[in-house]
Structure 1
Amino acid sequence: MKKLSILLLVLFVSCSSTSLVENWKNPDIVLFDAQKVLIVGMTQNENARERFETKLQKEFDKRNVEAMRSLDVFDVSFTDSKKTEKELDDVEQSLLDKDFDAILFTKVTGSENRESFLRTLAKLDNYKGRFNDDYLRNQDIYYDDDYYEKFDVYHAETTLYCICEGKDRSMIWRGSIDVTDPKNIEKTVDDYIKLIVLAMEEQDLIFRKDK
């Protein structure tokens, strides 16, 4: 049954505008459930961010898991200026105070070619840090107008972080995804979310396959 599920995942991505390049899961985690998840989409494209966070929130709603968009949780000014490590620690603590226990963090990155992107992935193999570290390293996505160039393939990463009280606040899962020539934002977002859901179902992370 497991092999069949993996085959279906491969067949899905082969006919989609998105494809899964890397699928890493913390080897110490077998199952992971969350009661309240913050959805963060990091991109300069506000239309894409709103569409992505809203549609992904609906996937959580279908499964009776509470989830909120970063657009509704963060102040309007949050992404207008760079944040320090101390400020992000305060944000994380405020999320704990509001009973959040997980963050699903997606960021869109670019690469001149696939080879250079794969070299970047190799470096990521050693990164198993926290949400704060990830945000700090990539927040230029919001501000640098030259961050994106015209690429035939865009690269994105979705990472699940645990921020559970009394537990290590660390990475649970990371999926690295290629997005091919995303001219249609709505279709691209739909394909991306379907792929995230399928990948997380396969890993028994929050989402569960229908019986």
Structure 2
Amino acid sequence: MRSIFARFLYLTAVTLFLASCATTSLVDSWHSPSQHELRLHKILVVGIFKTANERRIYEDILVSELSQRGVEALPGHTFIPADVKVDRQALENAEKEAHAEAVLTMQTVRIEHQQVLQPGYTTTYPDYWYPPAFPSWNLNGYYGSMTYYEPPYIATYTVANIQTSLFDTRNGKLLWAATIQTSEPGNVISVSKDMAGIVVQSLIKEGMI
């Protein structure tokens, strides 16, 4: 029983640590100083990811976020079929068909595994303890105690960098770019929601939408 409880404490500590690392944040951003007066009204959103499902989720969520800000946003999957590779030619064809002012692309550019050493800890808890919810047992309090020591351990988690870029469809020039980092790349819906909020807020700050 004691070993089970000790194991529970260890797993809880690991879970809490990994949860504390699970964030999506803006690493850096850039915008073209020559385009400070450009305000966009129609944007084509294209995700470049491994699977069509992942691409569709990222596109749809960002399109929804942009639409709430009054931008006519179009998901790339309505112009580029799932079985077509998203390359330069596919983007150019989609741009022409969508008649968009700009195209916003999203792509995972780096995935790495990071390790963090967590220090050990000592926990003391009652031995032969009975909960007061059962007073009929007439065994209130506890008798003695037990000390559990968890040695240091190495926690490993995955970090992914997603590059987002905004291009002017008239001349192909880069208008804005940002790097977004997440420690939970497998949670596509959660990450895409966080990323959409970050992207839109950055574009608003730069006066582009």
The TM-score, its normalising length taken from structure 1, stands at 0.61
Q: Do residues 96 (structure 1) and 96 (structure 2) align?
A: yes
Tell which deviates more after alignment, 64-73 or 26-35: 26-35
Q: Do residues 176 (structure 1) and 182 (structure 2) align?
A: no
2:111·2:158 contact (CA, 8 Å) conserved in 1?
no
Cα RMSD for the two superposed structures: 2.7
How many residues in Structure 1 have an aligned counterpart in Structure 2? 149
Distance 1:104 1:94, change over 3 A: closer
Q: What is the percent sequence identity of the aligned residues?
A: 23
Aligned twin of 2:41 = 35
Unaligned runs of 5+ in 1: 1-13, 115-149, 207-211
Aligned twin of 1:137 = none
* Partner Cα distance (1:94, 1:64) in 2: 22
Which deviations, in whole Å up to 9, do the C-alpha atoms of 1:152-206 show, x marking residues without a partner?
1101111000012xxx320000001111133432211111111111111111122
Aligned twin of 2:193 = 190
Q: Do residues 44 (structure 1) and 47 (structure 2) align?
A: no
- SS of the equivalent of 1:77 reads coil
* Partner Cα distance (2:112, 2:81) in 1: 34
Distance 1:51 1:30, change over 3 A: same
* Partner Cα distance (2:37, 2:185) in 1: 33
Structure (1 or 2) with the larger CA radius of gyration: 2
Q: CA deviation at 1:61?
A: 1.8
Aligned counterpart in structure 1 of residue 204 of structure 2, from 194, 201, 211? 201
Q: Greater helix share, 1 or 2?
A: 1
* Partner Cα distance (1:28, 1:102) in 2: 16
Q: Do residues 18 (structure 1) and 21 (structure 2) align?
A: no
* Partner Cα distance (1:104, 1:201) in 2: 14
Distance 1:64 1:180, change over 3 A: same
- SS of the equivalent of 1:204 reads coil
Give the alignment of 1:102-121 within 5 angstroms: 102-112=102-112
Give the alignment of 1:144-155 within 5 angstroms: 152-155=158-161
* Partner Cα distance (1:106, 1:188) in 2: 12
* Partner Cα distance (1:94, 1:196) in 2: 21
2:80·2:94 contact (CA, 8 Å) conserved in 1?
no
Aligned twin of 1:74 = 80
Tell which deviates more after alignment, 154-163 or 63-72: 63-72
Q: Greater strand share, 1 or 2?
A: 2
Which deviations, in whole Å up to 9, do the C-alpha atoms of 1:49-105 show, x marking residues without a partner?
2111111111222233222111101134322xx85x6x35xx526623642110000
Q: CA deviation at 1:46?
A: 2.9
Which deviations, in whole Å up to 9, do the C-alpha atoms of 1:15-37 show, x marking residues without a partner?
97112112111111213222321
